[in-house]
Structure 1
């Protein structure tokens, strides 16, 4: 079983706070995506908003990674959680004042993206430090289970709330969901990290994180797989408003259903990983390559479907593949990782994930605007399949070394 991390009282408390926050996260994602589409009816603007929420992790994520390796992890967790709540409160105030424009939505989304860029290395460092080192794989699997349970339930709930009660009510509910994750922070007891005998300059600390990865071929291959699955599978799930309302005219409720279909597949994948054996190595052999091939093929089918049940089914497959690969790659990065490098190395993993997803979302949105969604997903899946074949060759070569 992969649930052993729950034996830690501190992790259980953290897990409960996180359960509430991720429900708020998924309602917020549906809200922002729907607002982007409702304000402009533009696929490229939806892609732009998705990219704005992700690009800060690409540019400033490494800075936060270095800071997390130096700062009090509890203080960092409190600050990032409080900042997310402040950003949502600001968006709520703008909505109540009825002055929301594409520009203001872009600014708010960018602010949320910046805070999220800081929060990623915090949560990736905090969770593993609440359990023994041998149980880090369990932490990753449980985090994915938590994240994707909310991913299945909350988009549908968010869509219904938007349709029945409006954007303002949905934003207020989002804030309430985020509060418990802030309240539990003072009661957590993370493990002390290794003492740093010499304080490094930021550039030196970040460079040392890159060196740690560059000296390990298996970690470089994990990052390559992460970039590939993010640019193809994850980026496709960022343009759901274009599919839900632009193709099927199903409104916010349809968007919620589509998001929940992705979440259902993701939840199934998270359960498979949580109930399976704890991953303790960096391997890319076998199932990750097969799952990646299935996911990339599904991108093409999803973008060319004109049948709503088929679209929901393929969305679920995308969710399954994205989560399976995400958990596997994160576990591979975290395996045997020293606490003193955890923030930096995982921020680089996050940069890869978010950056590739942002670039993929921008590309799919722009190509959809010019050539329609079927051609956009065909080009994306074709290019990524070629890249997957090249990666498979590199994996084979590394195993001979």
Structure 2
């Protein structure tokens, strides 16, 4: 561990600096890959159904396999696990590049690629979440998590743009080759991390028993239980709205592709700012919990403004503020769990949080989207705002005895 007690941010740790640089390469490669897979599916099939199937193929393994990889993350060296995972991703990108060159690129290849990437993503989430706290002192956990989120959200904007440019200028094969190069660059930095941790619990324990133990710890720890509930509210209230941005843009202001691009950029800017704000906090659970609750109530207030939105400026401001709040909630919730969970349960509990944070927004987007088709987005988002505020207040009242 590092002596950072008098330092303001996680950048005071040399290992975190290496991780931050590695994360910039790795997350850029991830978002480029997502764009390339989605675009190539559309290019091959011209079918929205197949695009959805391929997209779901990358998400479903994460939802179902993350808890099992959480058990593994508690048993192995997280740095070595990250190396193996991203090396596998680089080999997949290289194989896809070669498949394109030699004419083997097809829908079946894309489906297999999506499933394999989904499986690797399921393994990567708990490994990354276990690794990060080993790079800084406990009081700098929020700083490390907030700063790491800035690279993720910046890559969410830059990755698709870079992938699109490569597609237009050099083609599919070269684009996937660039992805492989980015992954290898990130790997070289991950290999320089000085993490020598040993397994934190009995590796002879059956996997299912270890998994159930992680669920019990999550449900029996009041603060973790509260964070999971708040994550669900965020998924239904804020993040599901972000998932529906193309439809919201089209219905509320009659937006086109250029409009969506501007809104996406504003959402990315809001996310980066949210990560920076959280990165300035120290490891105080009470302060983080108040931040998360305030941001959730802020989401409700922001969504209420939908009644006044009539043009791009208004909707853009709403989306930017909503994205800022959602990022603060997500990073704050993750930091709260990182601060209160014991090392031997970290991978398992955080993998449960990952499933909630990824799965609930997908469900929320489906529910809100279906309701919006029947009643319109203004009415549905107004109801979501009111229900979200009521849920937060009810949760706070029910768990008022929680004192982190």
Are 1:171 and 2:176 matched, yes or no?
Answer: yes
> Shift of residue 75 of structure 1?
2.1
* TM, length-normalised to structure 1: 0.82
Higher mean C-alpha displacement, 288-297 vs 56-65: 288-297
Residue 184 of structure 1 aligns to a residue whose secondary structure is helix
Distance 1:42 1:364 in 2: 23
Distance 2:385 2:46 in 1: 28
Say which one has the larger Rg: 2
Distance 1:301 1:163 in 2: 39
Are 1:10 and 2:5 matched, yes or no?
Answer: no
Among 220, 224, 240, the residue aligned to 2:225: 220
How do 1:353-368 residues align onto structure 2 when only pairs under 5 Å count? 353-363=357-367
Mark the CA change 1:114 to 1:296 in structure 2 (over 3 Å): closer, same or farther.
Answer: farther
Distance 2:320 2:400 in 1: 33
> Shift of residue 346 of structure 1?
0.8
Distance 2:129 2:330 in 1: 13
Q: Larger relative contact order (C-alpha < 8 A, sep ≥ 6)?
A: 1
The gaps in structure 2 that reach 5 residues or longer are 1-5
Distance 2:7 2:49 in 1: 41
Distance 1:349 1:272 in 2: 22
Distance 1:220 1:50 in 2: 30
> Shift of residue 331 of structure 1?
0.6
What is aligned with 2:31?
Answer: 26
What is aligned with 1:331?
Answer: 335
What is aligned with 1:352?
Answer: 356
How do 1:140-219 residues align onto structure 2 when only pairs under 5 Å count? 140-163=145-168, 165-190=170-195, 192-193=197-198, 195-196=200-201, 199-219=204-224
What is aligned with 1:66?
Answer: 71
Among 268, 271, 274, the residue aligned to 1:269: 274
Distance 1:281 1:151 in 2: 29
Per-residue CA shift, 1:333-390, capped at 9, x if unaligned?
A: 111322111111111111111222333355567778xx38x83685477357525523
> Shift of residue 261 of structure 1?
2.5
> Shift of residue 9 of structure 1?
2.1
Contact in 1 for aligned 2:142/2:332 (Cα 8 Å): no
What is aligned with 1:396?
Answer: 397
Distance 2:171 2:94 in 1: 16
Mark the CA change 1:161 to 1:195 in structure 2 (over 3 Å): closer, same or farther.
Answer: closer
> Shift of residue 324 of structure 1?
1.1
Per-residue CA shift, 1:62-102, capped at 9, x if unaligned?
A: 1000011112223211111112223333444454437433x
The gaps in structure 1 that reach 5 residues or longer are none
What is aligned with 2:132?
Answer: 127
> Shift of residue 196 of structure 1?
3.1
Instruction: Report the RMSD for the aligned CA atoms in angstroms.
Output: 3.6
> Shift of residue 106 of structure 1?
3.8
Mark the CA change 1:298 to 1:141 in structure 2 (over 3 Å): closer, same or farther.
Answer: same
Are 1:83 and 2:88 matched, yes or no?
Answer: yes
Residue 187 of structure 1 aligns to a residue whose secondary structure is coil
Contact in 1 for aligned 2:139/2:283 (Cα 8 Å): no
Distance 2:166 2:310 in 1: 27
Distance 1:113 1:364 in 2: 25
